[in-house]
Chains A and B, each alone.
Chain A
Amino acid sequence: MPESKSEPERNKRPGLLGRIGRSLLHSREASIVIAGLILVIYFQSTASAFLSPGNIANLAAYAATTAIIAAGEVLVVICGEIDLSVGQVYALAPFVMFYAHEAGAPYLLAIVLGLAVGIVVGLVNGIITVLLRIPSFITTLGTLFIINGFTLTISGGFPVQPQANPVIVTIFGGTPFSQIIWAIGVTLLFQFILVKTRWGLHTIATGGNLIGASEVGIKIARIKIGNFILCSVLGGLAGILDAFRISSVDPLAGGTDIMFMAIASSVIGGTLLTGGSGTIIGAFLGAVVLGILKDGFTLSGVSAYTFDMILGGAILLTMLVNVHLSRLRAAGGAK
């Protein structure tokens, strides 16, 4: 029959490169990549030092730890919750690491203990939200203040200086290169978990259709509590990386600013705040875009007073481009 003969020919026509290209353009993250590229071109044309190796290191500093926290937030947001306390875990974990080391633990163990703080906080957040049925916004708002006060109390409000050997410092965020590797590694690992493992599938199901998911037999409580734990641990990891980067552990570090940036990165990258859908690679790109904006404007010489106005306007413009590109993609890609 004529159709069957022409079928294989039709399928062969696009070719491997064309198919990859088309699937990339159709991916959810394509629009934020294009928006990011437009920004890079804009900043490179106004400040030629933008793409210098030194400045790319700065970009990494602006974006890496936010991207790591955003990876955790995406998981929590996808299953229908939110974690406001992650910025405080970012401040607390390096302190616990420092005091554990002072008490005699070698640095590697101290780092693990710092991350263990994230496990405890995540567990508390998860149990209160799921078992006591308090909305996660309120739960994590409460734990935010508790952790902040706790950090200030144990530190006496004073910043401290971690003194680890150079190998540890280099591996755990001491150089921009190591920060980028951590950020990319975390992003790829968690994107894999999200799309290719059962945990990810159950997370999406929990957020997309809570009743349906529990009817099917998914353990909702375990999924939500587990994601809260993952989010807090990533927050602690980000805090430890930044502490080694600036060789100072500061009780004022992080806080609501970095938490807000992480959530903003997730949303800019394509995660829906209502839950059920999200992308960790998108959150990484969102953090990169926010970093490009902050770095680019500081590089161009914008001063503090006008900085926030310009940053806000730029975020709106970038999202405009992002949303409209998504619409075009959705309209054009329907096959």
Chain B
Amino acid sequence: MKKTDFSRAGITRREALRRAAGTGALVSLSTLAGFGVTSAEAAEEALGKFPKHPKWKFVFVNHVTTNPFFVPTRYGAEDACALLGCTYQWTGSEKSIATDMVNAMNVAISAKADGIAVCLVDLTAFNDPTDKALQAGIPVVSYNADAKGNNRLAYIGQDLFLSGKGLGARVVDLVGEGDVVGFIATPGQLNIQPRLDGAKEAIKESGKSINLTEIATGPTVNEELSAIQAYYAGHKDLKGMFAVDAGSTQGVAQTIAANSLQGKVHAGGFDLLPVTLDAIKKGDLDFTIDQQPYLQGFYTVMVLFMYAISGGLSGPADINTGLKFVTKTSVDPYLGAKNRYEGSSSEEKALTRSGPI
């Protein structure tokens, strides 16, 4: 049998193939090993002065995962995770469906997450999963919405009832007397219902004759606008239109603008969607209330990280992310530049300010 060309180099074809296979195997093995080494090192990286720790994974269970309000929350969680060498998963329900959120929490427990953060929008649905997680050694904190009777370790968010009372007091100041409407996306849900309850309480305490009607608008921004416009069309003698969630506030702003009601009808709400901020600048809305959603992601990750790195000795602390009224006189900085902290841009940029505070 004639030998192949390889014989010129001094090796047979079989030998050449064997060498090629061997080299290929070595290369792939080293790549795998390389992967292994790299990921192990990244997982055990020491950041700042913290000791080496595994790349912990925190699961955020949310009730409206695709709602624009939570975009800065996700940025906050992302930034904190990058800072501390952890990762997070953003899951839950798109339309405030409690069974989906409970399922997501249970899967996080099975996946042995290193921490779970959940919006407690229902009074009892999350009690069993929280207890199960704590029993399995997984810390659970709540963010954005809290519920009495749940065994979570801490709550990071706005004090909802008090913020509602703040809203109610502002309504009393602006309107004085007459019919007003309070729009709420999903009645009964614990991230927004307490605000409306607080508003009603504050109005009652003031003793003024203001008649507040509660109207539900829906969990997605599109349907909220339609609901608000439809309500106004049937109630043109309203003195004030107020809302307790981001989407409804935006809808109120758009309705006021569409019907040219500036100055004739008072309006205000919560959160800082871009449409809302523009409306405050134009005068369509009298005020909005900032609950600093970025911090609800950022501080939550810090709490869970501290719990993990200290072996459970430290970490949980209730953090009130604030109740700040934003009005025409204070809205300019928010409109200044699109930024990550309000969710309008994903760019990492340091902002500057000047003048007294």
Q: Could you list some 25 contacts between A and B, CB below 8 A?
A: A52-B110, A58-B107, A61-B99, A242-B99, A245-B99, A247-B124, A247-B128, A248-B123, A248-B124, A250-B125, A252-B96, A252-B186, A253-B97, A253-B98, A257-B97, A295-B103, A298-B104, A298-B111, A299-B110, A301-B111, A303-B89, A304-B62, A304-B65, A304-B94, A307-B91
The 4 residue pairs across chains A and B that have the minimum distance between CB atoms: A304-B65, A158-B188, A157-B187, A55-B110
Contacts of B104 in A (CB 8 A): 298
B102 at the binding interface (Cβ < 8 Å)? yes
Complex Cα spacing A253 to B103, Å = 14
CB within 8 Å for A305 and B124 given contacts A61-B106, A158-B188:
no
Residue numbers of A with Cβ under 8 A of B are: 47, 49, 52, 54-55, 57-58, 61-62, 152, 156-159, 161, 242, 245-248, 250, 252-255, 257, 294-295, 298-299, 301-305, 307
Complex Cα spacing A299 to B57, Å = 12
B66 in contact with A47 (CB, 8 Å): no
Contact of B188 among A54, A159, A246, A253 (CB under 8 A): A159
In the complex, the chain A residue whose C-beta lies closest to that of B132 is A54
- What does DSSP make chain B's interface, helix, strand, loop or mixed? mixed
In the complex, the chain B residue whose C-beta lies closest to that of A251 is B188
B103 in contact with A61 (CB, 8 Å): yes
Size of chain B's interface in residues, with CB distance under 8 A? 37
Contacts of B110 in A (CB 8 A): 49, 52, 54-55, 58, 299
Contacts of A303 in B (CB 8 A): 89-91
CB within 8 Å for A47 and B98 given contacts A157-B216, A303-B90:
no
Contacts of B99 in A (CB 8 A): 61, 242, 245-246, 253
Interface residues of B in 96-129 (CB under 8 A from A): 96-99, 102-104, 106-112, 122-125, 127-128
Contacts of B103 in A (CB 8 A): 58, 61-62, 294-295, 298
A159 in contact with B122 (CB, 8 Å): yes
Contact of A246 among B87, B98, B109, B111 (CB under 8 A): B98
B216 in contact with A248 (CB, 8 Å): no
Contacts of B189 in A (CB 8 A): 159
Complex Cα spacing A299 to B111, Å = 6
A47 in contact with B111 (CB, 8 Å): yes
In the complex, the chain B residue whose C-beta lies closest to that of A256 is B95
Most chain A beta-carbon contacts within 10 A, residue among B91, B103, B128, B219: B103
How close is B100's CB to chain A, nearest CB, in angstroms? 8
B107 in contact with A299 (CB, 8 Å): yes
Most chain A beta-carbon contacts within 10 A, residue among B66, B95, B111, B216: B111
Most chain A beta-carbon contacts within 10 A, residue among B90, B95, B99, B124: B99
